[in-house]
Amino acid sequence: MKFTTAHQSLRFSRRMLLLGGAQAAFGTLLLSRLGYLSIKQNEHYRLLSEDNRVQMIVVPPRRGWLVDRHNVPLAINRSDFRIDIIPDQLENPTQTLRLLASLLDLDPDQVDRIIKELKAARGFQPVQVAENVPYEKYAAVTVRLPELPGVQPQRGFSRFYPTGPAVAHLLGYVGTASAEEYEKTKDPLFLIPGFKIGKQGLEKTLEPYLRGTPGGQRVEVTARGQLVKELDPQPDRSGQTVKLTIDGGLQEYAARRMADHSGALVAMDIATGDMLAYVSMPAFDPNSFSKGIGQTEWRMLSEDDHIPLLNKVAQGLYPSGSTIKPAMALAFLKQGIDPNRRVHCAGGYQIGNRYFRCDAVHGSMDMHSAVERSCNTYFWAMGLVTDPAKTTEMVHYLGFGEKFDLPIPSQRYGTMPNPEWLKKKYDREWQGYDSANTSIGQGYVLVNPMQLAVMPARMASGKLLQPSLLLGGKRKPAPDLDVDPTHLEIVRKAMSAVVNGRGTAVASKLPLEGILMAGKTGTAQVFRLGSRGHQSNWALRDHALFIAFAPADKPRYAIGCIIEHGGFGAATAAPIVRDSMTYLFDKQKAWDALAPVEAQLGGTLAERTERRAEEFARIARANLAAKATAGGGQ
Amino acid sequence: MIGSAMIPVPLARLPWRLIWLVALICTIGVVTLYSAAGGSLSPWALKQAIVIFAFSIMAVGISYIPEHFVKQMIFPTYVVILILLIVVEMVGFVGKGAQRWVDLGFIRLQPSEFMKPAIVLTLARFYDLLPAADVKRWRGLWPAALLVLVPWALILVQPDLGTATMVLVGGVTVIFLAGLPMWYFLSAAGAVAAALPIAFAMMHDYQRKRVLIFMDPEADPLGAGYHITQSKIAIGSGGIWGKGYLNGSQSHLKYLPEGHTDFVFATFVEEWGLVGGALLIVAFGAIVLWGMRVANRAKTRFAQLAAAGLTTTIFFYVSVNLMMVMGLAPVVGIPLPLVSYGGSAVMTVMICLGLLMGFERQQRTKTSLS
């Protein structure tokens, strides 16, 4: 069939209809899409558009204080000066940075960091140039401000710990939130220059109380982050002040009294279980961390063999040595051992095919004299005639190897071994020598310094005390110990004799009229084969331990102390405990005792910390100069 | 100079319905550009008003060109534009830069812009000359295909996917209306569908990215998907009545990119809401309807095909831009004619409208005379 003009015309009309229909369909589609977006999705997009428009400029809250039981501040905020740059207002970045670098003495690394952060910055969010700027430099910048558009000098706050290292391990320190911490929480606060969060210790665990709520200025901003106008502001709320059970004075005293020893001391109030001192020495200066610790300082701290970065109270584990003996004695009594039963100490004891050597030839010993004189033979013998499961259970009940509910990150609890534990852990039966080792606090026994304070506190009070660090809130009174009070009396008398009779710590009597201290020394073997106590190499010497409570007749305070590689417990740990205990009853006498110790060391803790900081700074400068010359030579 | 009796006649002969629609749309455009500049005549609104004014005069002028003159001139014009396309391509190639425009002082034009109406007219002329019997034959297809594909390819390699597509679609519309067998189109559609993956592989990276982002704009909210996302936010947040004139936060705070050019519709709807947007769409629809009527009533085959093709070109301009802005099509860079800032689209559409008015005038005068 021939395709004619008529056909053509008809086909045109039909196809026009088709085309017109398609166009109408498209029009309908467009209209319904428009309706869908602006009616059905309106709510959704309105929120998104508001989200775009309104931004918060976060105003960081002031961190809450940490105070001791008498409201003496342990951690406060000190006003400091800081310099930030608002990238959006920066006009001549190169020139501005050059001038700032010369005014503030910035080193090339810092300038590099600032340039990098400026490149990544978005609009109104400030980039930190320097914090903790000394007033003179701050003033120098302020004066030149007209030449420095975009530079914002500000007063900020930095965390300050008045007693420095004395509270380092208890309170921890604060630092800038890391990238991972931001990723986890997406908290915009973490991006504010100069904003610090708790990184260790109570600063970390009490973070929710201490941080407070940020305030904010709601602002309208453009896509490029330019501020258009300010909307309603929201005030910030400072963090709460947290009151600790710590006695700040005692804390500082004990830290200073520990001198250059490496060790830990925990003191408790027997009436409540309040921890009065929580000392781990040597320590870093937490103030250095608030400012941002230098590389040199960090390296020196991590390389120190006294491990100042380790919280020895929470994480140090030590054999208890003879400090276990009072608890052992109590365990024996409970199992029906007559306190008058005598054991002859000929300087050692044969168990199986091994001869265990005692410290001395003590002769005939009963329970009282065995504790007083710390005779191992007696405890070996009694350990062998009692049920090890029941004995270890009692010692554990008194605190060794126990977990305490305290707001301290990463604690270690140690081990109080028992037959069941041994079976599970090492798959073997409990042997006589296990009883022997355990009876004198060696072998598998590992305790932390808190347990060294909890044990005498429980024995002195007769109550199952729980240690606590936070004051406030009602506490349940501790239940009585499931122990015969007459048994406790026997042990307390023996412990009193350790200090006040013919015992191992008679040199550490309290220099106070009418107040007697009861205690028990401990010497924990570090190096098995070494001859005890006479090592010239510090790292191989025995640990010195001492546990105590006072007054012996009406106990109020308990202290546990360990001095790493301190030799005999009586030689180093006991005097430190004695003076710390003295502080609780007569501060002046205690300070008098401290003066010669510090004089010998060449200054107070604060003075020594300052000297060390200067030393760090000097080394850091020397390193930097060396690096600069090396870099220049390339 | 002008006799009082003379004035009403030529004025009365103007297609006033169309003129009011165009005036409405242009007003919307200028008003929106004023807002997009944060309530200022500069840099866009005033310039756009002048450009629109100049081109409307031109459109009226074009409407007086007789059909036979258009017919005579169309093939030479087509060839000239083709040569221009090649020349700018070569200059751009030699200069290692993409110089694809001709500077007319107040407007910079790409030759490809002229190709949009020219291809429609050329094909209309071709089928006008082609005997009816040949329409179903091979010779009814290949010259037309060549006429479309050569400029299409030239524009595609510039690269300007948007304009190339417009030229292709305009040409295909005329070929379709010319009455070529339906199976051509169905099989071509099938072939295109099959070839899409290959085309995708041959695309430039940025083009491919746009297509991918179109499929899932939220995948890259700050990158290439940003345009679509922000545009949808602007339109959606306007609601029924809009945020009020000069109150569009998306456009004023510059969250909406290209709020004065390709995404001007979003700027407008944010402030005038569904009501304003619908009004604009309906106005464009009315123009298209008017153009299709002109095609329907046209007496000559050339006028029929040309009018329908030109109308469809306008239709495509509008619908592709709106689909893009509302997230129904990938971002290809086609402005909303008469509303978006920039003279090119205004010029193309005014040329189309001028020619359409010419066809319409002819119908009226002929009917009134017969």
Query: In Å, what is the CA distance from A460 to each residue of A168, A464, A513, B161, B325?
Result: 29, 10, 20, 90, 81
Question: What is the rounded distance in angstroms from the CA atom of residue A125 to the CA atom of residue A189?
Answer: 11
Name the residue among B237, B273, B285 with its Cβ closest to that of A49.
B237
Give, as one character, the DSSP assignment of residue A37.
I
Q: Which two structure tokens, joined as six digits, stand for B302?
A: 């050339």
DSSP annotation string for A505-560: TGGG--SSTT---EEEEEEE-SSTTSPTT--SSGGGSPEEEEEEEESSSS--EEEE
Asked if the model's pLDDT at residue A438 lies above 50, the reply is yes
Question: What is the rounded distance in angstroms from the CA atom of residue A247 to the CA atom of residue A263?
Answer: 19
Question: What is the rounded distance in angstroms from the CA atom of residue A334 to the CA atom of residue A326?
Answer: 12
Is pLDDT larger for residue A334 or for residue A108?
A: A334
Q: Do residue A30 and residue B292 have CB atoms under 8 angstroms apart? A: no
Number of H helices, E strands in chain A: 24, 19
Asked if the model's pLDDT at residue B319 lies above 60, the reply is yes
Q: Which two structure tokens, joined as six digits, stand for A245?
A: 């059970």
Query: Are the CB atoms for A126 and A84 separated by under 8 Å?
Result: yes
**In whole numbers, what is the pLDDT of chain A averaged over residues?**
86
* Percent of chain B with pLDDT strictly greater than 70: 88
Q: What is the pLDDT of residues A356-367, one digit of tens each?
A: 888 888 889 999
Q: What is the pLDDT of residues B57-74, one digit of tens each?
A: 999 999 999 999 999 999
pLDDT value, residue B222: 59
Query: Are the CB atoms for A258 and A279 separated by under 8 Å?
Result: yes
Q: Do residue A45 and residue B237 have CB atoms under 8 angstroms apart? A: yes
Give the alpha-carbon dihedral of B357, B358, B364, B369, to 10 degrees. Answer: 160
Single-letter residue type at A11: R
Question: Is A118 strand, coil or helix?
Answer: helix
Chain B closest CA to A4's CA: distance in Å? 5
Please report the number of interchain residue pairs, chain A to chain B, with beta-carbon separation below 8 angstroms.
133
Question: What is the rounded distance in angstroms from the CA atom of residue A410 to the CA atom of residue A146?
Answer: 51
pLDDT bin (cut points 50, 70, 90) of residue A634 is very low
Q: Do residue B315 and residue A26 have CB atoms under 8 angstroms apart? A: yes
pLDDT value, residue B2: 42
Using alpha carbons, select from A449, A135, A444 the residue that is nearest to residue A275. Answer: A449
Give the strand pairing for A66-67 and A242-243.
Answer: parallel
Give the alpha-carbon dihedral of A56, A62, A63, A65, to 10 degrees. Answer: -160
Question: What is the rounded distance in angstroms from the CA atom of residue B298 to the CA atom of residue B288?
Answer: 15
Using alpha carbons, select from A318, A242, A307 the residue that is nearest to residue A280. Answer: A307
Asked if the model's pLDDT at residue A477 lies above 90, the reply is no
pLDDT bin (cut points 50, 70, 90) of residue B122 is very high
| Residues present in chain A in total | 634
Q: Do residue A30 and residue B274 have CB atoms under 8 angstroms apart? A: no
Average pLDDT over residues A498-521: 89
pLDDT value, residue A244: 92
Give, as one character, the DSSP assignment of residue B43.
T
Strands (DSSP E) found in B78-196 = 102-103, 108-109
Average pLDDT over residues A429-451: 90
Q: Which helix (H) or strand (E) holds A382?
A: helix A376-385
DSSP annotation string for A189-204: GGGSTT-EEE-SHHHH
Q: Which of residues 305-324 of B touch A (CB under 8 A)?
A: 305, 308, 312, 315, 319, 322-323
pLDDT bin (cut points 50, 70, 90) of residue B369 is very low
pLDDT value, residue A432: 86
pLDDT value, residue B42: 85
| Tokens 């029929």, located at residue | B304
pLDDT value, residue A533: 44
Query: Are the CB atoms for B357 and B15 separated by under 8 Å?
Result: yes
Asked if the model's pLDDT at residue A460 lies above 60, the reply is yes
Question: What is the rounded distance in angstroms from the CA atom of residue A437 to the CA atom of residue A434?
Answer: 5
Question: What is the rounded distance in angstroms from the CA atom of residue A567 to the CA atom of residue A523?
Answer: 7
Q: How many CB atoms lie within 10 A of CB B74?
A: 22
Asked if the model's pLDDT at residue B226 lies above 90, the reply is no
Single-letter residue type at B3: G
Q: Which of residues 248-267 of B touch A (CB under 8 A)?
A: 249-250, 253-255
Segment among A198-212, B94-108, B263-277 with least mean pLDDT: B94-108
Question: What is the rounded distance in angstroms from the CA atom of residue A247 to the CA atom of residue A75?
Answer: 13
Query: Are the CB atoms for B296 and A16 separated by under 8 Å?
Result: yes
Please tell me which of A41-55, A440-454, A615-629 the model is most confident about, judged by mean pLDDT: A440-454
pLDDT value, residue B25: 95
Give the strand pairing for B102-103 and A196-198.
Answer: unpaired
Chain A residues whose CB is inside 8 A of the B328 CB are 29, 33
Q: Which two structure tokens, joined as six digits, stand for B275?
A: 């009501």
Chain B residues whose CB is inside 8 A of the A52 CB are 230, 233, 249-250, 253, 255
DSSP annotation string for A120-164: H--TTS-EEEEEEE-HHHHHHHHHTGGG-TTEEEEEEEEEE-TTG
Question: What is the rounded distance in angstroms from the CA atom of residue B98 to the CA atom of residue B3?
Answer: 52
pLDDT bin (cut points 50, 70, 90) of residue B276 is very high
Chain B residues whose CB is inside 8 A of the A220 CB are 249, 253
**In whole numbers, what is the pLDDT of chain B averaged over residues?**
86
Q: How many CB atoms lie within 10 A of CB A511?
A: 15
Is pLDDT larger for residue A484 or for residue A93?
A: A484
- What's the distance, CA A486 to chain centroid? 40
Q: Which of residues 115-144 of B touch A (CB under 8 A)?
A: 132-133, 135-136
Single-letter residue type at A137: K
Question: Is B266 strand, coil or helix?
Answer: helix
Q: What is the pLDDT of residues A179-198, one digit of tens each?
A: 788 888 877 788 777 788 88
Query: Are the CB atoms for B231 and B325 separated by under 8 Å?
Result: yes
pLDDT bin (cut points 50, 70, 90) of residue A118 is confident
Question: What is the rounded distance in angstroms from the CA atom of residue A446 to the CA atom of residue A396?
Answer: 11
Longest dimension (CA), chain A: 138
Beta bridge partners of A77: A159
Question: Is A267 strand, coil or helix?
Answer: strand
Q: Which two structure tokens, joined as six digits, stand for A439?
A: 């009876």
Query: Are the CB atoms for A555 and A460 separated by under 8 Å?
Result: yes
Chain A residues whose CB is inside 8 A of the B232 CB are 37, 41, 45
Question: What is the rounded distance in angstroms from the CA atom of residue A496 to the CA atom of residue A371?
Answer: 10
Give, as one character, the DSSP assignment of residue A430.
-
pLDDT value, residue B97: 52
